Chain A
Amino acid sequence: MSESRFAAHAGRPGARRRADAIRAAEARVAAMEGDYIAEADGLIDRLNTLAGEPAPDIDAIYREAATLRGLGGVFGYALVSDVAGSLCELADRLLAAAANDRPAILAHIQSLNLLHHRRVKGDGGSGEAELCEGLARLVARWPAATLP
């Protein structure tokens, strides 16, 4: 590709040092943790509401879970991202199978409630590991969607 304007400008001398820019950005992100907690509260509330519908909208559950997956790990809540990702995978498989599995969906959302409200950071302990393995078994009950 002929060099883009982005490439041409980014390579100019006088740049801020990479390490300084990353450190400053990490500090800005850390300062937003309270906002993340409020955002995750809302996402998990919406997941609870969606799962409580007589015919849960799996696609909407997928979207809310994907948003949550994209946030938790940024603030150190890696397990929230992992469980939200597991819920995405479950929803993807259910959509491909045109099926519903309310118990498995609820198990994921209850897990998110627990991990979020206890503010579990990092990888947690053996209880969290056992929980994640159990959720993975629930997802595995449904075949992975095939590649197109």
Chain B
Amino acid sequence: MNRVDDLRLDGLTVLLVDSSKFTRKLVVQMLVEFGVSTILEAEDGDAATEALRRGHVDLMICDTMLPRQDGITLTRNIRLETSASYRTIPILLLTGHTRRADVMRMRDCGASLILAKPVAPKALYDRLAWIARDPRPFVESAIFTGPDRRHREDEPSHGLSRRQVDRDRLARLTDSSVTPAEVAAILDQAGQP
């Protein structure tokens, strides 16, 4: 397969699912500049499912944290809907924070790729490029339905680990806006001097 670094996204329809109106607006701005011609928005799983059933969607970008049916369950339900034409569409899951209880569910839900927020334009673009050249077969078994988890050549980092205080980061420190007295006041009241 040819490597796809420059994406041509005109003529494609992307469904963006996020309960935060502002987050949707932010990602829409990025997708517009990437050249996506049609962007559908949904604020929850029910609206997303309705949009999928109503018309053709080429890619779904979905936050994990949705009301009622979360993005992980929504992804799994899409993969299990055997008669649906949209069953195999690429799905990029976005997550602000991953609860321990959701780690395995996220791995097993059948998403094409997972990306930790905050989502910068470069990270989003490169994940879309990776999905565009994703060579994995779509597998169906009793325990998993989705892009094959065993074949993950060249998969980009999902960035789920927390930023670390490392030497590079310490070297970037600037003058403090927060005084030692303010730090002490905040931590002391919590019993953590």
> Which positions in A face B, CB cutoff 8 Å?
1-2, 4-7, 9-18, 21-22, 24-26, 28-29, 32, 35-36, 39, 62-63, 65-67, 69-74, 78, 81-82, 85, 88-89, 92, 95-96, 103-104, 106-107, 110-111, 114-115, 118, 120, 122-135, 137-138, 141, 144-148
Chain A contacts of B122 at CB under 8 A? 22, 26
5 A-B residue pairs with Cβ-Cβ distance under 8 Å, sorted by A, are: A6-B59, A10-B129, A16-B8, A124-B174, A147-B100
Residues of A within 8 A of B82 (CB): none
For the complex, what is the distance from the CA of A147 to the CA of B107, rounded to whole Å? 13
Secondary structure of the B contact surface, majority rule? loop
Contacts of A128 in B (CB 8 A): 173, 176-178
CB of A86, distance to nearest CB on chain B (Å) = 8
**6 A-B pairs with the lowest CB-CB distances in the bound complex, closest first:** A125-B176, A70-B117, A127-B176, A73-B118, A25-B121, A15-B8
From B35, B117, B132, B165, give the contact of A7 (CB < 8 A).
B132
With beta carbons under 8 angstroms apart, the residue of A5, A22, A138, A146 that contacts B121 is: A22
**Which of B7, B25, B99, B179 has a CB less than 8 Å from the CB of A127?**
B179
Bound complex: CA of A104 vs CA of B11, how far in Å?
A: 49
Chain B 174-185 near chain A by CB (<8 Å), digits 1 or 0? 111111101100
